[in-house]
Chain A
């Protein structure tokens, strides 16, 4: 089973609309990271959350980690075509098999129509 579940898998919105992407874990998240990826390129680091209830914002993007530290959300306000891409959440110390630094969700494909 996937250790980090992202929803939705894909999202198509009209420019100017708000949207939310969720990342859920069955385990406590000790470090939660949000990344954005353009197809075929590397991941761009957006934000890191560590404390329960923590919220961070950068320009029109806000990320939150819930009090129980098992769910994070990424909210984009007044979306623009430049926000289009794949959004991935990653967490520290999730994998019991490989000791991976970060384990990632499957990603959410965001399309913003002008």
Chain B
């Protein structure tokens, strides 16, 4: 079974721009979660989607948004990029929304200059 696929792997953007990251979950997984990882803050939860509905959202500004499609693929968007948005963005999928492990992709490394 193919794992979680995130594209692109690396991205360099300028302050003020917007960016869209993509995630394809493991086949059969309907839940997709997004995390931001930085050296100072560790892994911070962004949001979780299940069957195209956002179930939970972390404490991030409205510039961070996401969506999930009918095939469970997910995208996250960050508008008006700030230097502090530079991070590794990780997507994870799971079969259900609880009591099942998250399986992570290799992430998208976003650098904002």
What string of 1s and 0s marks CB contacts (under 8 Å) between B95-113 and chain A?
A: 0011101111111010000
Which residues of chain A are near B48, meaning CB under 8 Å? Answer: 99-101
Interface residues of A in 4-41 (CB under 8 A from B): 31, 33, 35, 40-41
As a 0/1 sequence over residues 17 to 61 of chain B, the CB contacts with chain A under 8 angstroms (1 = contact) are 000000000000001010000000011010010000001111100
Known: A43-B104, A48-B101. A95 touches B88 (CB 8 A): no
Main secondary structure of the interface of B (DSSP, over half): strand
Q: Determine if A104 and B102 form an interchain contact, defined as CB atoms under 8 angstroms apart.
A: no
Q: Is B90 an interface residue (CB 8 A)?
A: yes
Known: A31-B98, A31-B99, A40-B88. A98 touches B104 (CB 8 A): no
Are A100 and B98 in contact, with the CB atoms below 8 A?
no
Picked from A31, A33, A102, A104, the residue with its CB within 8 Å of the CB of B42 is: A104
B74 close to A (CB within 8 Å): no
A98 interface neighbour in B58, B102, B106, Cβ under 8 Å: B58
Inter-chain contact B98/A33, CB cutoff 8 Å: no
Whether A102 lies near B102 (C-beta < 8 A) is: yes
Q: Nearest Cβ in chain B — how far from A69, in angstroms?
A: 14
- Inter-chain pairs besides A93-B98, A98-B56, 16 sampled, C-beta below 8 Å: A31-B99, A35-B104, A40-B107, A42-B90, A45-B102, A48-B101, A98-B58, A99-B55, A100-B45, A100-B48, A100-B56, A100-B58, A101-B33, A101-B56, A101-B98, A106-B42
Please list the residues of chain A having a beta carbon within 8 angstroms of any beta carbon in chain B. Answer: 31, 33, 35, 40-45, 48, 50, 88, 90, 92-93, 95, 97-107
A-B contact pairs, 8 of them (CB 8 A): A40-B107, A42-B105, A42-B107, A48-B101, A90-B102, A92-B98, A101-B94, A102-B102
B residues apposed to A, CB below 8 Å: 4, 6, 31, 33, 42-43, 45, 48, 55-59, 88, 90, 92, 94, 97-99, 101-107, 109
